[in-house]
Structure 1
Amino acid sequence: MSGHGFHVHGPHDHELEHATNGGHGHSESSGDHEHSGGMSSTSKIAMCTAVIATFGAIFAYMGGATQANAGIYKNNAAIKKTEASNQWNYFQSKSTKQALAEFARDTATDDARKQGWQAKVTRYEQEKTEIQTEAKKLEAEASKWDAQSDEQMHQHHRWAQATTVLQVSIALAAIALLTKNKWLERAMFGVAVAGLAVGGLAAVHV
């Protein structure tokens, strides 16, 4: 908009408009050079920026998803740990009852009473074994959820790193469009490749 209202164009938006309009506003010789040489540098950067932004959006989504999964898995681990703790408390209660039954058995003077207390001791021992098995199973499940949570969080960090690197690449692209510096354009491509590589590491859980 020329002179009326207030509208801000980002450098990348401006160069995109320029590329779309075929380079109007530059000298005729410059336009002829761009058309004779195929796709202009501006168009190439604009197209690559769009591709990089697409990958960046995908990486950002994956980063958010893995972070959410890590929280869910950590919560599952906490639940299993609580259940395991309850089982161990139950186990301790049975151990106390067994100890009291053993004391009563050992101090009983009547054989019938001793046999009755012994039956309780045997029952408590069996119940303790079942409770202990369940407690260990719950602890194993808690450890599994913890490991999955840690893996998801590591993957989240990888996606976040990849997204950040691609954002830097897009920033370099904007500066390259403004300054027309070839080394910035090369740096943009290099950083973009690095970001895609980090995203590849995240995809394969490295």
Structure 2
Amino acid sequence: MVKFENNDFGDVLLNRHSVRHFDEGVKIPRSELREIIQETITAPSACNLQAWQFVIVDTEEGKKKLHEFYLPFNNPQIDTSSAVIQIFGNTLAFKKYRALWDQMYAEKRISKEELDKVYNTFLPLYEHADKTMLTADAMVDSSLAAMQLMLIARAHGYETNAMAGYDAKKAASVMGLDPEQYVPVMGIALGKPDKNVEELKSVRYPVDEVLKFE
């Protein structure tokens, strides 16, 4: 069982807030960043497609690349964070789909009937889908993973900031990915907050303004 620094789920969930200024003296080990991603990819995805890709930026050289496509208002969190995790949706994730399910069958985790069902329903759906559907699915999958990542980071004792505000046409190529396959979803800056900076805490709309029963 994973032992988190913060096992109080109520605190992890309800006291999460965006941080724009991090403690520049804090460095998160790559082994821990890898653990965070390992825990993140337990997130749900459509048909278990797992249409996500993560690029961890934790060097000055990498952050210079982020500056090539992010707008300047994201500079504080990019420059002061321990790392920025750039999340991309993988629109061609279905090409690995057969191997994934073959492995599950080989490990006797599913029956031959269940395997055939996947091949005759889910797989053709993606193999014949247009780019719009593949992009939409990848964006949803990656967004679910992004929210999970932010909560997991808090459980590890860190805070985060989810960032948009970038040139989506440049993001993949600057980070060394094929822009025809990978669509940028968001960046997540993480680290320890700078205790000398008081962050603005956002206010939520009343629940009745965003809730409707039928």
Flag whether TM exceeds 0.5 (same fold): no
Report 1 or 2 for greater relative contact order, CA contacts < 8 Å, sequence distance ≥ 6: 2
Length-normalised TM-score, structure 2: 0.22
Higher strand proportion, which one?
2
Length-normalised TM-score, structure 1: 0.22
- Highest Rg: 1 or 2? 1
